[in-house]
């Protein structure tokens, strides 16, 4: 017995069979279907149908607190894996948190506060198993840039700090509102080309800003554009400190070397993950023993012991700078959402599970709202820290709880040990992290696939580097066209031409109907037996 061979109809539009045109719909029917597909593509209320009240209550709690789903199945094997992952990302979160807080012109202790409360909130409300919550360099730079134009962090640190808390509060409000209203698709307007260009430009600006710490400069421009930064650097050549520059270059070389080794051999990822903390420890010991702070090497200084103090009364909702805080919160919120959701989806694909973008927005929003009330500033799920969490073998979001507990112990007992940490080490940590965000390979790929997307990418990069972050973001959003990205790429790759236009359908139902039509209308193909010259069917 053999399998029958069939002559399938040609996929040419002129000769091939056509699918029946669906009956026309009224305007309101079309509007209703479009709104349902946009806001409720996963039909979240389906699971509540025909369920008793107690079951509905449990399902509702699990929707908003996803940890109730995995907590009953938690076991010792998961705990072991999450402990290792949690301690690993804590070793990265502590030095990075301090570094990014300095980048935002905020007290360094806020970086540790922001690695304590928000991860606990996300562990209960987030749906990703791999995201590691914490502060991010780009968001920190945005806060410093946008708030710094209105209030000088050096001249009025109290007001600047309160505005940072207020901006974080409005970031949370925006993110939670987008999640509750199921408006997650708005983030898709930040296309891949936009993100590559914007992140690359922001990373370049951050690296240039860190030359202040590497060269040991006391005064530096608050502008972020390339020309202003270079002018500020080269107008102070007489104040460059060679001790700070040598120390910074040595630590930067060490961090880049460990990162290279971690990429070459994934089993050694922990070396690059531990490198920032090792740099902080070694730098602190070196400064303490050599009294380098007396020779121009700047140090962090005193860090207050204790857990997060409440900051609800610091929210300046009646301040004349309220609109600045709202604008800063909204811009940083969109960027934080784009990075966090993109990272979560990437690792979910690698482990073959699904995350709900709207749930993630609610989780991000609530952790920033609660964070703003507990002396934290902007947090999200940074890709670099989440990659370390993934490689460390995390099983659930409990790795964030382990990290938060480790940071809590640091806040209670270990903060005096950071007194002699040199600022140049923090600058080296930031530069080494930012170099990974300059994705020139993705830009080259965009050039090969779509010249317009490449132009969007380069426009965003140039706007950020030579203008400011807001200009780069506006340019990218104006030029981007995410709605036509997929079909444009398919047309460029000749995919539609090879497949046949008649095989592209708007709904699953139409596609299934077309397949059934093709299968039932095909004719068996017969063979000529060359040896006997007789006709024989192959399906007998």
Helix axes 137-148, 469-479, angle to 10 degrees: 110
Give 311's pLDDT tier (boundaries 50, 70, 90). Answer: very high
pTM for the full predicted model: 0.77
Instruction: Give the range among 32-46, 160-174, 209-223, 338-352 with minimum mean pLDDT.
Output: 32-46
Least confident of 19-28, 75-84, 483-492: 483-492
CA-derived radius of gyration, the chain: 28
For 32-36, 125-129, 467-471, which range has the lowest pLDDT when averaged over its residues? 32-36
Residue 445 has pLDDT above 90, yes or no: no
Q: Residue 211's pLDDT is what? A: 86
- What is the reported pLDDT for 517? 53
- Cα-Cα-Cα-Cα torsion 399, 127, 270, 276, nearest 10 degrees, comes to -80
Q: Please check the confidence at residue 372 and state whether its pLDDT lies above 60.
A: yes
By the 8 A CB rule, do 343 and 383 touch?
yes
Per cent of the chain over pLDDT 70 is: 80
Confidence of residue 29 (pLDDT cuts 50, 70, 90): confident
For residue 137, pLDDT beyond 80: yes
Among 92-101, 116-125, 513-522, the minimum mean pLDDT is found in 513-522
Pair 119, 351: CB distance under 8 Å: no
Strand partners, 7: 523
Q: Can you tell me whether residue 134 is helix, strand or coil?
A: strand
Distance (Å) of CA 16 to CA 500, 501, 506 = 10, 11, 18
Mean pLDDT rounded to a whole number for the chain = 80
Site of tokens 């132009």: 455
Please state, in angstroms and rounded to a whole number, the distance separating the CA atoms of residues 529 and 60.
Answer: 66
Task: Report the alpha-carbon distance of residue 420 to residue 284 in Å, rounded.
Answer: 5
Better-scored residue on pLDDT, 254 or 504: 254
Phi, then psi, of 28 in degrees rounded to 5: -70, -35
For residue 5, pLDDT beyond 70: no
What is the Cα–Cα distance from 298 to 215, expressed in whole angstroms?
10
- pLDDT value at position 292? 77
Q: What is the pLDDT of residues 471-516, one digit of tens each?
A: 777 776 777 655 444 444 444 444 445 545 444 544 455 555 555 5
Whether residue 410 is predicted with pLDDT greater than 90 in this model: the reply is: yes
388: left (phi over 0), alpha (psi -120 to 50) or beta: alpha
* Paired tokens of 400: 């964030």
Least reliable range by pLDDT among 80-94, 240-254, 292-306: 292-306
């Amino acid at each position: 017995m053999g399998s029958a061979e069939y002559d399938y109809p040609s996929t040419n539009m002129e000769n091939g069979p056509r699918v029946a045109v669906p009956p026309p719909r009224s305007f309101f029917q079309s509007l209703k279907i479009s709104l349902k597909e946009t806001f409720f593509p996963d039909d979240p209320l389906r699971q509540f149908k025909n369920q008793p009240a107690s079951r509905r209550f449990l399902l509702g709690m699990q929707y908003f607190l996803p940890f109730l789903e995995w907590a009953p199945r938690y076991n010792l094997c998961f705990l072991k894996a999450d402990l290792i992952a949690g301690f690993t990302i804590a070793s990265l979160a502590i030095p990075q948190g301090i570094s990014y807080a300095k980048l935002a012109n905020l007290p360094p202790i806020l970086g540790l506060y922001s690695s304590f409360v928000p991860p606990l909130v996300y562990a209960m409300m987030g749906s990703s198993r791999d995201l590691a919550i914490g502060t991010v360099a780009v968001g920190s730079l945005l806060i410093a840039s946008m708030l710094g134009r209105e209030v000088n962090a050096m001249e009025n640190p109290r007001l600047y700090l309160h505005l940072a808390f207020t901006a974080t509060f409005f970031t949370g409000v925006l993110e939670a509102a987008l999640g509750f209203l199921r408006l997650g698709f708005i983030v898709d307007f930040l296309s891949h080309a936009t993100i590559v260009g914007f992140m690359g430009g922001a990373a370049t600006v951050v690296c240039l800003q860190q030359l202040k710490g590497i060269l040991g400069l006391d005064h530096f421009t608050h502008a972020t554009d390339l020309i202003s930064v270079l002018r500020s650097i080269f107008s102070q050549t007489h104040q460059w400190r060679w001790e700070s520059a040598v120390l910074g270059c040595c630590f930067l070389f060490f961090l880049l070397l460990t990162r290279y080794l971690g990429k070459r051999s994934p089993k050694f990822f922990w070396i690059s993950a531990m490198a920032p903390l090792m740099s902080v420890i070694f730098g602190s010991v070196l400064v303490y023993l050599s009294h380098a702070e007396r020779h121009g090497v700047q140090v962090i200084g005193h860090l207050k012991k204790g857990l997060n103090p409440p900051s609800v009364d610091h929210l300046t909702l009646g301040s004349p700078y309220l609109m600045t805080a709202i604008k800063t919160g909204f811009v940083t919120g969109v960027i934080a959402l784009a990075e966090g959701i993109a990272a979560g989806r990437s690792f979910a694909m690698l482990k073959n599970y699904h995350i709900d973008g709207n749930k993630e927005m609610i989780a991000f929003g609530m952790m920033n709202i609660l964070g703003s009330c507990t002396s934290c500033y902007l947090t999200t799920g940074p890709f670099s820290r989440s990659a370390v969490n993934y490689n460390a073998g995390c099983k659930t979001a409990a790795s964030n709880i382990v990290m938060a507990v480790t940071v809590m112990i640091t806040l209670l007992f270990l903060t005096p040990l950071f007194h002699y940490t040199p600022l140049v080490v923090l600058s080296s940590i930031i530069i080494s992290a930012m170099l990974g965000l300059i994705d020139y390979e993705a830009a080259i790929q965009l050039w090969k696939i779509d010249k317009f997307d490449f132009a969007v990418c380069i426009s965003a990069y140039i706007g950020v580097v030579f203008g400011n972050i807001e200009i780069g973001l506006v340019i990218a959003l104006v030029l981007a066209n995410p709605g036509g990205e997929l079909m444009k790429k398919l047309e460029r790759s000749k995919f539609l031409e090879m497949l046949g236009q008649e095989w592209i359908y708007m709904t699953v139902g139409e596609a299934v109907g077309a397949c059934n039509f093709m299968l039932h209308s095909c004719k068996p193909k017969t063979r000529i037996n060359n040896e006997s010259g007789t006709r024989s069917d192959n399906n007998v």
